[in-house]
Amino acid sequence: MKKILAVIAGVAFVATPLVGWAHPGNTASDGCHYCRTNCTKWGVAWNERHCHGGGSYSPPRTSTPARSPVNTASTLKRGTSSSEVTRLQTILAKDLAIYPEGLITGYFGPATERAIKLYQKKYGLEQVGYVGPKTRALLKLEGL
């Protein structure tokens, strides 16, 4: 009887760490899987690939293709209306020498175009009057 209890105690002792790692879902051969349930309980984001038992980490899968490192955001130019133009105007309005009108309308009109040219001049860019990749890179540092 003592031997049986010793075996049961030994199995319980060895199996205890396994129970601590138990979770819903299947894992791949490397011990990794994509979290679909109870993600916050496990401390990972939904659809985040994470591993158990020393496997490696991979970023989450997405249904959209990976983004190019090149900024593909649209050009902001005269005639554009958007919340991004509103953010642009808010940034420009911080400097009255660049944007004395200070209009924050969400519409890229003549005053915004003039302000962009002055902004581009201030930072040594070609004064084209629209927000292309080079101007956007500078504005991104300011929160655009």
The predicted pLDDT at position 143 comes to 80
Domains: count for the chain: 2
User: What digits encode the pLDDT tens for the residues 57-111?
Assistant: 445 545 544 433 333 467 899 999 999 999 999 999 999 999 999 999 999 999 9
pLDDT of residue 79: 96
Answer yes or no: is 70 within a domain.
Answer: no
pTM equals 0.50
User: Per-residue pLDDT averaged across 38-60, rounded?
Assistant: 59
Q: 77 lies in a domain?
A: no
Residue 90 and residue 45 in one domain: no
- pLDDT on residue 1: 74
For residues 88 and 133, membership in a common domain is answered with: yes
Residue 61 lies inside a defined structural domain of this protein: no
Computed over every residue of the chain, the mean pLDDT equals: 75
- The reply to whether 46 and 88 lie within a common domain is no
Structural domain boundaries, residue 113: 83-140
- Res 2: pLDDT: 75
9 is written with which tokens?
A: 């105690």
Is residue 100 included in any domain, yes or no? yes
Question: Is residue 122 a contact partner of residue 94, using CB atoms and an 8 Å limit?
Answer: no
- Asked whether residue 113 is assigned to any structural domain, the reply reads yes
Coil/strand/helix, residue 138: helix
Measured between alpha carbons, how far is 108 from 99 in angstroms, rounded to an integer? 13
Instruction: Tell me: pLDDT of 10 over 70.
Output: no
Give strand pairing partners of 34: 49
Spatial CA neighbour of 60 closest among 49, 45, 75, 71: 49
Same domain, 87 and 135: yes
Q: Give me the pLDDT at residue 70, please.
A: 35
